A and B are shown apart, each in its own frame.
Chain A
Amino acid sequence: MREYLVFQLYAPLSAWGDIAVGETRPADLAPSKSAVLGLIAAALGLRRPDTTIDERQRYQWETEHLALAEGYGIAAKITLPGLPLTDYHTAQVPSSGSGRNRKVFATRRDELTWMPRHELNTILSRRDYRQDAFAVIALWARQGAPYPLKTLHDRLLAPEFVLYLGRKSCPPALPLNPCVRTADGIEVALDGYGLAQAVKGVIDDRDLPAIWRHLDESKPIFCWDSDAETSLHAELTIRRRDLPTSRRRWQFAVREECRAHHATGDAI
């Protein structure tokens, strides 16, 4: 038996970033631990170490993030992995000259309107998203966890910074509805949340059949940290590089994640 903080994540677009080199910015179907911890850090109001020049401050903020990464275990139940979407993304920037050619732009407007078009360079990228994905997250506190689960729960209800599902352009489209519960295993802790369930009472009952077809939540995917309490058998163990070690150096350690399909029968 363990205590869990459980909450739901739904948005029309979400993006759980994978290893991204250059132009291609892929996304995984399962929430990454770094992104979920980032969301918790935003709720708590932890700062990004790369937004200060004070060395001591940086060190302290870096330590706070590290404590989060080490302090909690994570499990996820993905009832709707969502359809993939690749967004073709372009951004224009003027060449940065040096010496006498160096131009100073006060705003983005100046950057785009003062320069002749041929002096603007286009940067391309392809960014993966998931559409209409729904997942439930359970966190448990490990030895030395920096905050009790109740604190995380309260901060999620009244966060310090805006929350988002992987990218800042992906705001949650349902309240996270956090709860702290004691359960025997992650599969029990994660029970009772589903998009269809979440929208009951929110969407007109007469409308439900129309979107029901779209919400096949009968075969959820479970993902969990290897120290989870569970009676599920891992069908697959993957190594994801999503355990934050240094925000400043943008470094992530490898984390082992177990995965299994698990039709609970009560999944709706």
Chain B
Amino acid sequence: MSTFLQLHLLTSYPPACLNRDDLNRPKSAIMGGVPRLRISSQSLKRAWRASEQFEDALTGHLGTRTKRRGVKIFEKLAAAGIREKEAKEWAQAIAGRFGKLKAKKENEPRNDLEIEQLAHFSPEEEVAIDALADVLISEGRAPTEPELALLRKQHTAADIALFGRMLADNPAFNTEAACQVAHAITVHRAAVEDDFFTAVDDLNNHEEDAGSAHMGEQGFGAGLFYQYVCIDCDRLHENLGGDAGLASRTIQALIEAAATVAPTGKQNSFASRACAYYVLAEKGSRQPRSLSLAFMKPVREGDMLDSAVNVLTSMRNNLDKVYFQSKPLASRSINAIAGEGDFTALKTWAAQVGDDA
């Protein structure tokens, strides 16, 4: 018996092309005999894993955002009497674990100690870096691979614990993902639409022809998506080596990302970023199930946001009534349309260890 944390999210995207097929059109699916738009599971997971929100939520909001950590390490090593060449190499090795380093520059000797983009350093990571630098100074040697790997232990661990790892060449390190993500599907009938567009040549004076310089077509669609995520909390703890604090931060980071991060596809053309307006979190040990059946009959136009929440909650109640003697799972929800609930409280509750109501 395990504890499962199930998340049900409703997110409405304006016209967008978040996840494309080989014809460059939004992905679709048929449910209840009716066409829908779809965002694949792997597209969602990639967006969450690669998001800044996920990384930030994991390290906690306290900490430092900097490109210049490498310079500080170098200064510390150099001040302690390490030769400049070595101090630089060691500092680069450490800083390089937190981001890609800038290229070498002729008249800026410390440029290649800086990280290209701002990196977030948690207080624990700062302490670990300082401690490692002290060891290097006292022993006068370069950092070893395991020492460097330890610096970003929590990032590595959380990423792999949630989403798993499969290495064909080193199966000993395989990890089973603790998190299950379903394809997101619109709650209503939705067709892929076509945007036919032209681009004019500004220097064309219409003397010879007045045609456009470019013609193109872009598939897009707008939709209200139902998204389902199930986290096996016991597996997550196990994958994280029993670190309860990290497990709690990992769950919060995932909820944060699932509710606020959209896939990056065609964002420059559509700026379709959106947050979930409804989030339901359920916790318990009984067999998890998605609530997609609520939308088998497509939600009709009109008061779609409210209707989607209503059919979702009534499906949940009815399933409980028919299959589980009307016993509901412990749950929390937020509804931004009604202005109900508190997202931070929901995350905190969801991340609590154990199956408490």
Residues on A close to B: CB < 8 A? 10-13, 43, 48, 50-53, 83, 85, 87-89, 91, 104, 106-110, 112-115, 131-132, 156-164, 168-177, 199, 201-204, 207, 210-211, 213-214, 248
Q: Complex Cα distance A43/B232, Å?
A: 12
Contact with A along B129-158 (1 / 0, CB 8 A): 000000000000000010011001001100
Pick the contact of A169 from B32, B41, B155, B287 — CB < 8 Å?
B41
Pick the contact of A48 from B49, B116, B176, B228 — CB < 8 Å?
B176
* A164→B180 contact, CB < 8 A: yes
* A109→B55 contact, CB < 8 A: yes
Q: A87-B21, A169-B180 are in contact. List 7 more A-B contacts (CB 8 A).
A: A106-B97, A107-B159, A112-B50, A159-B2, A160-B1, A170-B182, A207-B297
In the bound complex, residues from chain A placing their C-beta under 8 Å from that of B41 are: 168-169
- What are the nearest 9 A-B pairs in CB distance? A214-B33, A169-B41, A114-B100, A106-B152, A53-B172, A107-B159, A108-B49, A88-B22, A202-B318
Q: Shortest distance in angstroms between B290's beta carbon and chain A's nearest beta carbon?
A: 5
Classify chain B's interface size: 35 or more
In the bound complex, residues from chain A placing their C-beta under 8 Å from that of B285 are: 158
* B29→A131 contact, CB < 8 A: yes
In the bound complex, residues from chain B placing their C-beta under 8 Å from that of A114 are: 99-100, 116
Which one, B9-17, B79-87, B320-328, is touching chain A? Answer: B320-328
In the bound complex, residues from chain A placing their C-beta under 8 Å from that of B318 are: 201-203
Q: Shortest distance in angstroms between B169's beta carbon and chain A's nearest beta carbon?
A: 9
Pick the contact of A12 from B49, B287, B292, B314 — CB < 8 Å?
B292
* B21→A104 contact, CB < 8 A: no
In the bound complex, residues from chain A placing their C-beta under 8 Å from that of B27 are: 87-88
Q: Shortest distance in angstroms between B40's beta carbon and chain A's nearest beta carbon?
A: 6
* A171→B177 contact, CB < 8 A: no
* A132→B159 contact, CB < 8 A: no
Q: Shortest distance in angstroms between B57's beta carbon and chain A's nearest beta carbon?
A: 12
Q: Shortest distance in angstroms between A63's beta carbon and chain B's nearest beta carbon?
A: 18
Whether a CB of chain A sits under 8 angstroms from the CB of B30 is yes
Whether a CB of chain A sits under 8 angstroms from the CB of B315 is yes
Whether a CB of chain A sits under 8 angstroms from the CB of B171 is yes
Q: Complex Cα distance A174/B291, Å?
A: 8
* A211→B290 contact, CB < 8 A: no
* A108→B46 contact, CB < 8 A: yes
* A88→B21 contact, CB < 8 A: yes
Whether a CB of chain A sits under 8 angstroms from the CB of B219 is no
Q: Complex Cα distance A201/B117, Å?
A: 55
- Assuming the contacts A171-B182, A176-B287, asked whether A132 and B50 have C-beta atoms less than 8 A apart, the reply is no
Which residues of chain B from 156 to 192 have a CB within 8 Å of any chain A CB? Answer: 156, 159, 163, 171-172, 174-177, 180-183, 185
* A169→B152 contact, CB < 8 A: no
Whether a CB of chain A sits under 8 angstroms from the CB of B72 is no
Q: Complex Cα distance A112/B2, Å?
A: 33
Q: Complex Cα distance A188/B27, Å?
A: 40
Pick the contact of B288 from A104, A109, A162, A201 — CB < 8 Å?
A162
* A109→B33 contact, CB < 8 A: no
Q: Complex Cα distance A211/B287, Å?
A: 26
Whether a CB of chain A sits under 8 angstroms from the CB of B18 is no
- Assuming the contacts A89-B42, A171-B289, asked whether A177 and B230 have C-beta atoms less than 8 A apart, the reply is no
